[in-house]
A and B are shown apart, each in its own frame.
Chain A
Amino acid sequence: MRTLLLVLPLLLFHFYLGLALRALAPRVGAGPATWAFLPGLNLALLFRVAGRSPAWALLLLAPGPNLVAWALVWAEIAARVRQRAWLGLVMALPGPNLPALGRLAGLPRFRTAALTVAVIASLPGAWLAHASALEARVAAAARRLAARDAEGRRRALVELADLGRRALPARPALERALAEEDPALRGQTARTLWCVTGERPDAGRLPVLLEAARGSIGWPLPDASLVTALAEAGRGAAPDLESALADPDPGVRWHAAGAFVRLGRGGAAAVPALLQAMHDPEWNVRNSAGRALEEAVGPEHATRLTQVLAEPSVEMRYHVARALARLGAAASPAVPGLVLTLEDADWEVRMESCWALAAIGPAAAAARPALLRALGDLDAQVRASAAWSLAHTGAGAGVASAIRSLLQDPDRDVRDAAAAVLRRIEAKT
């Protein structure tokens, strides 16, 4: 019944088109008129009515070009039956094409109106059938959550998560499925529940959600929905999330660190654990922990960050320099360390050190000689950053000549930065 309701508008239109073609064919001497109701052949007849080769009907199989062909062939038919060409173009517009078809074919007005009304009246039924098909799909997926086959249950979870809010009727089944024995599927269930309801998971849901991350370390990206769900659940259970940074599974550690990125300053208490996680053997975990550190730090961490700035790990120095930049003037104890990292072997560390000193501002005045040396760095981005940093640290006319030399730099960004910094210095003096 549902299928019938879904295809009824198409069937009615097919019938209507058939009537129209049967009426048109004898008027222009095209045939055979019996093709009018036969799918496929009716399209060949359509082109014959237009005085064209039936081979043109192949064009109607190509989505996109078929719309243009449909409009133009009806414009030609309109010309052949001495109607206005624009009436043919109307045939490409769903809705207005219904009365236009009857008029082009010269069907009696009553019949045209009746067929138009019939097609339009069948649309709400098709819409209801469409809605009912979605409900049936959600119900079927919800039923599969109780199936014995684990792969079937997993697929049902993926399908429901993809449907998002439209799968809300499956909520009771999903809540029941939280009692799932398989920990990974239990985790997936919790994640799906989050995708479907959008309700913040409570702290108690955190261990279950973490199960969904197990074995994920090979993925190209962390599961963004899961990371958000973990962050939401972790708001009330930061210590639990912190302990997940030491989980034996690298996927769990990765997603937990990712959740701390989302928590921002809410994860401030986890800074020591994040610093520890930056020694993780997995790059993904170190990277997420580093980004999380940048988001979580506050003035209270300035001393600790200054200490680790001298660590042998390039990644550590990079993220710590970026974290210090977030602290602004509060990072002033780190100025001596940042002066050293201005000569780091890694260009990104040198660049981030420039920006950290820029963020510290006039309190980093002691770094100006080192920043002046950085104007001659081999890397263009470091040179540009050093120029900006000098401006931010309050350097005056004394450094103008050094910066002016960058106006001849081969790199466009460096020249632009130098020009802007010079304008700034001149405005100040």
Chain B
Amino acid sequence: MRLPQLSRGERRFALLFLLSLPLLQPQLRGEGNGHYAWVASLAVDGDLDLENQYRRGDPDFVASTFRRADGQLWPTMQTPTGRARNQFSIGPALLWAPAFLEVHALVTLANDIGFTVAADGYSSPYRRACALTTASLGFAALLLAYRLALPLAGAPAAGLAALGVGLATSLPVYMYALPFYAHTLAAFAVALYLWFWRAISASWTPGRWAVWGATAGLMVQVDALTVSFLVVALGEWLRQAHRARSAPAGLGPGAAFALTGLLVQLPQLVAYAIVHGSPFNTGRFHRFFWDEPHLFAHAFGGDHGLFLWTPLILVALAGLAGLALRRDRFLGGCLLLASAAFFYVATCSDRWHTAPGFGNRFLIALTPVWVVGLATALGAVHRWLAPLLPAPRARSAAVVAGIALAVAWNVGLVFQWGSGLVSRREAVDFPRVVRQQFTLVPRQLGAFALRLLGARGAVAGAREPPGPPETRP
């Protein structure tokens, strides 16, 4: 256990991250209000009565949570225990908790000494600290993903892949502009889970299985859809049982994994029991229709279709397929299977369109998988270009140019989304979006960048839908 030894490239990457921090916008938006209310209520009030926290949320969230007739919670927002419903996971709150508690201690002390800073959990120091935690963990997710890809593709390809995924997918929007959504933290939790798996793959002990189970528990607690990644643990367990030619020998490690995974779930279960009346009542409004997946629309539809918004992921998928077929069948197969299961579950949600928000936000959790796939693909492309471009530098330049193109595409989309050129809620007319990428975006991007640095909140435009419907008679 030690601080990581950063290579030269990683230090540059860290410097780039530090320089990007002024872009951080610590405003609560949409789902972030729900995730954040857990930590604010626990740390400040200690009561899990979230109503007063909800009243401090962003205006759109407040308007959709309380009715204008009497300022009280909508009936559907009330739980059988008389508290305010919270359908959002507690995992992000746990990851923010250390930063939140530190700031709370400092703010309380400052108030006692005579300064005036609201110690309510919603003033700027709290939000900044938690947003910084999200951004840091987003960076950590990329760093862990880079290390995951390193032995497969080498430092240049892995580094370029991490940078490409960090800049050319929806991740940066949720790292910097919407840091209170769970997606960046889910990417970190998945990266930690996968990195730990590979880091200790040479020497498995029941203790290490237990620690791995804890990372799995954290992952599922941050984003329930990541439960699909448990197929990786199942695959690893089966592989070891096969090697040992004895299933009973694997019972101990499997039990250790499951036990710690469940133990880490306890905060969520206890919170559900207190707030919703049962540890198994998630309080979710949204439903899953398992027989009605929106597979094509989720991938290519105007409603935040994954490959339309983030074409780079097609390359990453090709890389993953190549990894599974040629390099490391087990690793590639596990990652493909887990990603496919994740994708399927996401398409069965009645919120499959991921609106409102930027891009296909559900799949940000797969960031480490994209980095591994992209790194493998970039390595292969570098080799394939050899007959055309014999000089290695020219090949590298071509690959870098491809990534730069993907980044430019993403920056254009961020601009269109942030400035309202595309709908944040409805399906978009993608041919028009493409036209605008080449016509409006180049003309207006400069002014937008200035606004982004100057006026905070400019791009954080995601809005929650109107208030939940009232209970039917």
A residues near B, CB below 8 A? Answer: 2-3, 6-7, 50, 52, 56, 62-67, 69, 72-73, 75-76, 79, 85, 88-89, 129-130, 133-134, 137, 162, 220-224, 227, 257-259, 261-262, 284, 287-288, 290-292, 322, 325-326, 355-356, 358-359, 412
Contacts and interface: CB of A to CB of B under 8 A. Distances in A.
Interface centre among A62, A63, A220 (most CB of B within 10 A): A63
B289 interface: yes
B229 to A, nearest CB: 23
Interface in B124-140: 129-130, 132-133, 136
Contact of B70 (A52, A130, A288): A288
12 contacts: A7-B113, A50-B3, A63-B129, A64-B129, A72-B2, A75-B2, A130-B108, A133-B111, A162-B120, A221-B71, A262-B72, A287-B69
A227 B473 contact: no
Nearest to A55: B11
Given A221-B71, A287-B69, A412-B292, 17 more contacts: A52-B3, A62-B99, A64-B98, A89-B1, A134-B112, A220-B59, A222-B68, A222-B69, A258-B69, A258-B70, A261-B70, A261-B72, A288-B69, A292-B69, A355-B472, A359-B473, A412-B350
Contact of A220 (B3, B62, B96, B472): B62
Contact of A262 (B70, B132, B292): B70
A326 B129 CA distance: 48
Contacts of A85: 1
Contacts of A50: 3
Contacts of B136: 62, 64-65
B103 A63 contact: yes
A88 B1 contact: yes
B109 interface: yes
Contact of B69 (A64, A72, A73, A261): A261
A414 B217 CA distance: 38
Contacts of B211: none
A291 B68 CA distance: 10
A355 B472 CA distance: 8
Contacts of A262: 70, 72
Contact of A72 (B1, B109, B130, B133): B1
B20 to A, nearest CB: 14
A266 B99 CA distance: 48
Interface string B344-387: 00000010000000000000000000000000000000000000
B289 A6 contact: no
Interface of B: 1-3, 55, 59, 62-63, 66-72, 95-96, 98-100, 102-103, 108-109, 111-114, 120, 129-130, 132-133, 136, 289, 292, 350, 472-473
A2 B99 CA distance: 26
A415 to B, nearest CB: 10
A75 B1 CA distance: 7
Nearest to A64: B99
A56 B3 contact: yes
Given A62-B136, A221-B71, A69 B3 contact: yes
A130 B114 CA distance: 11
Given A63-B129, A355-B472, A129 B112 contact: yes
A224 B73 CA distance: 10
B68 A288 contact: yes
Contact of A221 (B1, B62, B292): B62
B102 A67 contact: yes
Contacts of A6: 109, 112-113
Chain A to chain B: the 4 pairs with minimum beta-carbon distance, closest first: A64-B99, A224-B71, A291-B69, A64-B133
A72 B132 CA distance: 20
A220 B98 CA distance: 34
Contacts of A292: 69
A355 B473 contact: yes
A206 to B, nearest CB: 16
B3 A73 contact: yes
A3 B113 contact: yes
Nearest to B67: A291
A412 B289 contact: yes
Contacts of A65: 99, 132-133, 136
Interface centre among B59, B62, B67 (most CB of A within 10 A): B67
Contacts of B69: 222, 257-258, 261, 287-288, 290-292
